[in-house]
Structure 1
């Protein structure tokens, strides 16, 4: 077995073939990794495990960040269905641990990963290797063949697309809206600017609520993308984020923004929407999504492993 760092773009076609095999076997959508592999200025780490023939058998991705003064390695790994439980999972974990310890330079660090609740072999491996289950997230879906209800915007508030000119206040809103959420890492102005300049960014789906005094009070952003999460590939509208400034909660802004974006998706011809939500979200998001027609169809288990 050979292990080496991925060479991009040269290895992309072979990695894509491995991801496709895993998607078929596990009924998953792994496009987030294809997007990451195609980023031109990435700081992420991609590692491969190859058979002696040179055929890729395993792929791992590692992205570092800081959460509550802890160095966190967000870790994903995928093994060809015919090569599972033959040692690649353990080799990939050892690589991720070594990389994270090296990056942390002696400070407290941990790995963060996830498993679909239906993939018993995967979460069994994680738990056997001292990962602790910390949280669970739902993926919810809603049919958009019919137009959702019209939003009721609270008096004095207005809805409009976000703009690059207000990046600092928009970044501040996003961080305040999510500061009490589990494992939330602050967004920077640079990160938000990069996101808003991506080719797939849709300004008509990045909507803010403006308070009577002109400040930003709430926001909702969505994307349109292919998904294979339910087996066959289809185009879905993904509600990427929905958050409200603490001073403007309990007014119905989140519901108004959500319905606004769902109606926009319907107008654009999208027939289904997905959203991911913390199973014990502190602001009652699950109830909100259920109230406008979302239903849970996936559960994800989230894990930490502290290394130092």
Structure 2
């Protein structure tokens, strides 16, 4: 018998354990700490659900975020690798779809993203009528040896984030991502909740490229969500349109890599849309990054 409920802060450690067990079973590494999950659970515009077995074992986890005026529902569904036979992911997928159908506007889509190595979850989505919509990549680089120095376009200077920059950085982030697949403008309050109100927020890892006082590009980084201190994570890399095609993105990336290494980190990682219209994958390859893992987004009309 599967019971579905909304998780609370006390569940963070068990959710992290489920996610890490799944990631390791698929040939990957740990992906989240309890502190990272606790941060997610505080996001007010995300709906969370867990599926439990009769004796309280955590079987599956799901979170759903509603976007684009109730036309896009983004699902993160994960199932414990040793408890798949209990049907927790199937129960959560059914519950999430029913909930989304109640709220959805016309022409809405439910989309779920998962590791390409998770054949069982792919089969579950396909049986439920979902089809492949997009591929995504996790890319990485070892930070040993000689790391290329950044070369900055004339007139560009780089500095780190200050609290008074929040509104301007938010604007630059949103503008630089306008060309990205399914980009949705986030209000400043939601953006701040996700990026600034975190226990591990480190403003010295947020790099801002400026010209004549204007933010031209940004590279917002942090320690990896897994808690592994050897991995630096590039969460956001963006260049505003007037400053593109000048090597600024590559410069910011190389700058971040060198700072990571100076902090004792040995690897860097990021996630990217495999079909990026801005040439992001090619940029990361020029910076020396390689594909570490793949994921897929499946979708279904509501």
Q: 1:129 to 1:32 in 2, by over 3 A?
A: farther
Query: What are the Cα deviations for residues 6-54 of structure 1, in whole angstroms up to 9, with x where unaligned?
Result: 3423333443443343233223444178624444463432223222222
CA distance in 1: counterparts of 2:35 and 2:130, whole angstroms: 26
Q: Distance in 2 between matches of 1:151 and 1:240?
A: 19
The CA distance in 1 between the partners of 2:24 and 2:99, in whole Å, is: 30
Partner residue of 1:83? 83
Please give the alpha-carbon distance, in whole angstroms, between the structure 2 residues aligned to 1:18 and 1:60.
11
Distance 2:192 2:48 in 1: 25
Deviations 1:53-105 (A, max 9, x none): 22222222222222xx443222122223233154333211111012212333x
What is aligned with 1:293?
Answer: 288
Partner of 2:47: 45
Specify every segment of 5 or more residues in structure 1 that has no aligned partner in the other structure, as ranges: none
8 Å contact from structure 1 (residues 171, 189) kept in 2:
yes
**2:121 pairs with 1:122:** yes
Note closer, same or farther for the CA distance 1:198–1:248 as it changes in structure 2 (3 Å cut). Answer: same
Cα separation, partners in 2 of 1:237 and 1:188, compared to 1, 3 Å:
same
The 5-angstrom pairing of residues 180-219 of structure 1 reads 180-194=179-193, 195-211=195-211, 213-219=212-218
Query: Separation in 2 of the partners of 1:101 and 1:32?
Result: 32
Contact 2:179 2:278 survives alignment (8 Å): no
Seen in structure 2, the aligned counterparts of structure 1 residues 290 and 24 have a Cα distance that, compared at 3 Å, is closer
The Cα shift of 1:205 comes to 1.5
Deviation (angstroms), 1:239:
0.9
Q: Give the 3-state SS of the residue equivalent to 1:82 in structure 2.
A: coil
Once structures 1 and 2 are overlaid, which stretch shifts more, 35-44 or 170-179?
Answer: 35-44
* 1:260 to 2:255 alignment: yes
Equivalent-residue separation in structure 1 for 2:75 and 2:33 (angstroms): 13
Cα distance between partner residues in 1 of 2:158 and 2:134: 33
Q: Is the 8 A contact 2:210 2:217 kept in 1?
A: yes
State the SS of the aligned residue for 2:254. Answer: helix
How many residues are treated as equivalent by the alignment?
299
Give the 3-state SS of the residue equivalent to 1:54 in structure 2: coil
In 1, distance between residues paired with 2:174 and 2:79?
A: 35
Q: How does 1:172-183 map to 2 (within 5 A)?
A: 172-183=171-182
The separation in 1 between residues aligned to 2:202 and 2:106, in whole angstroms, is 39
TM-score by length of 1: 0.87
Q: What residue ranges of structure 2 are gaps of 5+ in the alignment?
A: none
- Structure 1 residues 160-179: aligned runs within 5 Å: 160-179=159-178
The residue number in structure 1 matching 2:61 is 59
Q: 1:144 touches 1:262 (CA, 8 Å); kept in 2?
A: yes
Q: Please give the secondary structure, in 1, of the residue aligned with 2:213.
A: coil
Instruction: Please give the alpha-carbon distance, in whole angstroms, between the structure 2 residues aligned to 1:248 and 1:51.
Output: 53
1:144 to 2:146 alignment: no
Is the alpha carbon distance of 1:148 and 1:102 closer, same or farther for their aligned partners in structure 2, counting shifts above 3 Å? same
CA shift in 2, pair 1:54/1:65, >3 Å = same
For the Cα contact (< 8 Å) 1:164–1:193, is it kept in 2?
no
CA pair 21-147 structure 1, distance change in 2 beyond 3 A? same
Q: Is 1:247 matched with 2:242?
A: yes
- Who is 1:8 aligned against? 8
Distance 1:164 1:234, change over 3 A: closer
